[in-house]
């Protein structure tokens, strides 16, 4: 949606109005100027999502740490000790905590963005603002959670680094870029699915199931090096795989990463973002007719 100011030179059926809201002419346009103009609203939505996460809970923000800790312990028990999956020589706790921290961020961005129209129909129907503000607030609020949980991951890495069990390397400097790529991909895939969940509500159930399957197609609980060659060639099409492998290699010194695989992931992410922007801009014009 774009806001256009009407001047005296332009025809206007009702002279009492000086502001008309019209749909954006281009499907792939990203209203950066409007996003900046509504930056206070973006901040309020981001803050709302963070506060609502632990409001009326006993432990409050401690849940940011409790969830990855307990999930890591379960993964160590089930996948590390019972199933005996390899961790490429990295300590099991650090290996699984790294994968969980990154996966939770992507999954939260994907899941919540995919139902953004349905979940916020009561807001969209009352007042105008750039609809892209809502998905961006989801990405930013989850980024805050990711930053808090990353502190736990860094403490774990520092401990194992001090004991000499892992060796972080210069690839760790790519972490900000990898997180940005992961956030953009989660945002893009979420906006694509938002068009379907708006009209077909049962797509939300398929989405939850699909995200769980996607985790097993991503090297979250296993290293890519342990996959059979035929399976690895199929999973290499997953744009998330290079991101997780690069992050794990930089932080833990375990895993395989190439410049070509990272380039593929970034290219896929950019294409998906352009396509999702077009879909999102098209759907937002008539969203209140179907929600």
Each residue of 28-37: pLDDT tens digit?
Answer: 567 778 888 8
| 3-state SS, one letter per residue, for 211-232 | HHHHHHCCCCCCCHHHCCHHHH
Evaluate whether residue 23 is within a structural domain. no
Evaluate whether residue 247 is within a structural domain. yes
pLDDT(290) > 60 = no
Tell me the per-residue pLDDT of 83-138, one tens digit each, with 9 for 90 and over.
888 888 899 999 999 999 999 999 999 988 888 877 777 777 777 778 888 899 99
Evaluate whether residue 1 is within a structural domain. no
What gap in Å lies between CA 222 and CA 228, rounded to an integer?
12
Evaluate whether residue 235 is within a structural domain. yes
| pLDDT band per the 50, 70, 90 thresholds, residue 56 | low
What gap in Å lies between CA 27 and CA 279, rounded to an integer?
7
| pLDDT band per the 50, 70, 90 thresholds, residue 288 | low
pLDDT(71) > 70 = yes
What's the pLDDT score for residue 20?
56
Evaluate whether residue 10 is within a structural domain. no
Cβ neighbours for 128, distance < 8 A, ≥ 6 positions apart: 1, 3, 21
What's the pLDDT score for residue 4?
45
Evaluate whether residue 4 is within a structural domain. no
What's the pLDDT score for residue 127?
76
Q: Which residue has the higher pLDDT, 6 or 74?
A: 74
Tell me the per-residue pLDDT of 225-275, one tens digit each, with 9 for 90 and over.
888 888 888 888 999 999 999 999 999 988 788 889 899 999 999 999 998
pLDDT(25) > 60 = no
Tell me the per-residue pLDDT of 139-183, one tens digit each, with 9 for 90 and over.
999 999 899 899 999 999 999 999 989 988 888 999 999 999 999
| Count of alpha carbons within 13 angstroms of residue 238, beta-carbon side | 21
Report, as an integer, the average pLDDT of 32-59.
Answer: 81
pLDDT(50) > 60 = yes
What's the pLDDT score for residue 23?
55
What's the pLDDT score for residue 223?
87
What gap in Å lies between CA 191 and CA 186, rounded to an integer?
9
Q: What are phi and psi of 208, to 5 degrees?
A: -60, -40
What's the pLDDT score for residue 51?
80
Q: What are phi and psi of 262, to 5 degrees?
A: -65, -40
Evaluate whether residue 154 is within a structural domain. yes
Q: pLDDT > 70: what percent of the chain?
A: 82
What's the pLDDT score for residue 120?
74
Domain that residue 169 falls in:
30-290
Evaluate whether residue 88 is within a structural domain. yes
If one counts the domains in the chain, the total is 1
| Reported pTM | 0.84
Averaged confidence pLDDT in the chain: 83
């Amino acid at each position: 949606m774009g806001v256009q100011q009407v001047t005296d030179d332009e025809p206007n059926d009702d002279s009492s109005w000086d502001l008309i809201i019209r749909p954006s002419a281009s499907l792939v346009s990203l209203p950066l100027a409007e996003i900046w103009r509504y930056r206070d609203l973006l901040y309020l939505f981001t803050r709302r999502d963070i506060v609502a996460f632990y409001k009326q809970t006993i432990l409050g923000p401690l849940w940011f740490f409790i969830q990855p800790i307990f999930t890591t312990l379960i993964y160590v028990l089930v996948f590390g000790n019972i199933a005996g999956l390899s961790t490429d020589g990295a300590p099991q706790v650090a290996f699984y905590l790294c994968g969980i921290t990154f996966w939770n961020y992507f999954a939260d961005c994907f899941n919540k963005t995919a139902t953004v129209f349905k979940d916020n129909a009561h807001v969209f129907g009352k007042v105008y603002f750039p609809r892209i503000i809502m998905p961006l607030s989801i990405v930013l609020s989850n980024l805050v959670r990711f930053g808090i949980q990353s502190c736990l991951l860094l403490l774990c890495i520092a401990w194992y680094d001090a004991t000499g069990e892992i060796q972080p390397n210069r690839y760790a400097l790519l972490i900000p870029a990898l997180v940005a790529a992961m956030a953009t991909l989660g945002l893009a895939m979420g906006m694509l699915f938002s068009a379907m969940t708006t009209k077909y509500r049962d797509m939300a159930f398929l989405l939850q199931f699909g995200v769980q399957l996607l985790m097993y197609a991503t090297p979250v609980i296993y290293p890519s090096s342990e996959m059979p060659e035929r399976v690895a060639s199929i999973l290499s099409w997953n744009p998330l795989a290079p991101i997780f492998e690069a992050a794990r290699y930089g932080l833990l010194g375990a895993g395989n990463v190439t410049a070509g695989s990272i380039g593929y992931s970034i290219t896929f992410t950019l294409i998906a973002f352009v396509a999702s922007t077009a879909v999102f801009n098209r759907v937002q014009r008539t969203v209140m007719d179907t929600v």
